[in-house]
């Protein structure tokens, strides 16, 4: 009996010897991957249609799907680029010209806070934490308060508040609480930790 397996990408059945197993994660905080079979050499008609040398290469392309995968530069896992249930919650952030997943980004934030250059440029980089932001509380951050963002003026106010905290010796993390699709409007929470003195903010 011929052992045939279906390719995750082209969905063609091929001999198991022509397949490779790939660990795929739907989200950065998934503890276990889904193991999928990818054919090493895709069918010729499929290659002509999609113009990929291999089904493995197609995993990483956004040309035919909004839910392509990307390898995290931090943990080296292959993770879907966005949340499949809503289609817009991005799973990666650019840090020092490298794409890292939100789990690795959380580790960076807890250690160093948000980047001052981003704040000065008018950006409010952050992420969704667990309900109530327990990760931040456990790491010694104090919540300054929620802030509603919907205009350049409101962004400017939050920017100045964060810069004042940084100037007084705090590292700051921005938690996304409720955000509209695309992140242009919503509620964020500001969390600060004094790294130059003993005690809270």
pLDDT band at 176 (very low <50, low <70, confident <90, very high): very high
> Does 108 fall in a domain?
no
- Answer yes or no: do 8 and 76 share one domain: yes
User: What is the SS3 string spanning the chain?
Assistant: CCCEEECCCCCCEEEHHHEEEEEEECCCCCCCCEEEEEECCCCHHHHHHHCCCCHHHHHCCCCCCCCCEEECCCCCCEEECECCCCCCCECEEEECCEEEEHHHHHHHHHHHCCCHHHHHCCCCCCECCCCCCHHHHHCCCEEEEEEEECCHHHHHHHHHHHHHHHHCCEEEEEEEEEECCCCCCEEEEEEEEECCCCCCC
- Answer yes or no: do 93 and 146 share one domain: no
* Mean pLDDT of all residues in 31-36: 96
pLDDT digits (tens, 9 = 90+) for 117-174: 999 999 999 999 999 999 999 999 999 989 999 889 999 999 999 999 999 999 999 9
Q: Which of 6-15, 36-45, 179-188 has the lowest mean pLDDT?
A: 179-188
* Mean pLDDT of all residues in 29-43: 88
- Answer yes or no: do 186 and 92 share one domain: no
pLDDT digits (tens, 9 = 90+) for 54-96: 788 889 988 878 899 999 999 999 999 998 877 678 999 999 8
- Answer yes or no: do 67 and 8 share one domain: yes
- Answer yes or no: do 131 and 188 share one domain: yes
**Which of 82, 103, 124 delimits the end of a domain?**
103
Q: Which of 16-20, 26-30, 86-90, 176-180 has the lowest mean pLDDT?
A: 86-90
pLDDT band at 48 (very low <50, low <70, confident <90, very high): low
- Answer yes or no: do 89 and 23 share one domain: yes
Give how many domains the chain has, as a whole number: 2
Whether residue 66 contacts residue 34, with contact meaning beta carbons closer than 8 Å, is answered with no
**Which of 60, 81, 103 delimits the end of a domain?**
103
Instruction: Return phi, psi of residue 94, to 5°.
Output: -95, 115
**Which of 103, 122, 137 delimits the end of a domain?**
103
> Does 40 fall in a domain?
yes
- Answer yes or no: do 98 and 147 share one domain: no
- Answer yes or no: do 131 and 87 share one domain: no
- Answer yes or no: do 99 and 117 share one domain: no
**Whole domain around residue 1: which residue ranges?**
1-103
pTM of the model: 0.85
User: In this model, does residue 49 exceed pLDDT 90?
Assistant: no
Whether residue 59 contacts residue 53, with contact meaning beta carbons closer than 8 Å, is answered with no
Calculate ∠ Cα 189-72-69, nearest 5°. 100
């Amino acid at each position: 009996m011929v052992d045939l397996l279906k390719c995750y990408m082209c969905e063609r059945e091929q001999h198991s010897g022509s397949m490779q197993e790939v660990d795929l994660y739907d989200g950065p905080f998934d503890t276990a991957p889904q193991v999928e079979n990818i054919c090493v050499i895709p069918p010729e008609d499929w290659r002509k249609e999609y113009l990929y040398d291999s089904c493995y290469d197609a995993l990483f392309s956004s040309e035919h799907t909004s839910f392509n995968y990307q390898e995290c530069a931090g943990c080296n896992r292959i993770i879907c680029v966005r949340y499949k249930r809503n289609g817009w919650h991005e799973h990666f952030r650019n840090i020092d010209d490298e794409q890292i997943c939100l789990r690795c980004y959380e580790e960076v934030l807890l250690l160093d806070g948000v980047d001052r250059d981003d704040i000065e440029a008018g950006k409010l980089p952050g992420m969704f934490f667990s309900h109530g932001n327990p990760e931040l509380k456990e790491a010694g951050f104090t919540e300054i308060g929620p802030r509603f963002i919907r205009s350049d003026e409101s962004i400017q106010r939050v920017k100045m508040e964060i810069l004042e905290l940084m100037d007084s010796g705090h590292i700051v993390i921005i938690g996304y609480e409720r955000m509209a699709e695309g992140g242009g409007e919503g509620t964020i929470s500001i969390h600060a930790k004094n790294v130059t003195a003993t005690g809270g903010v």
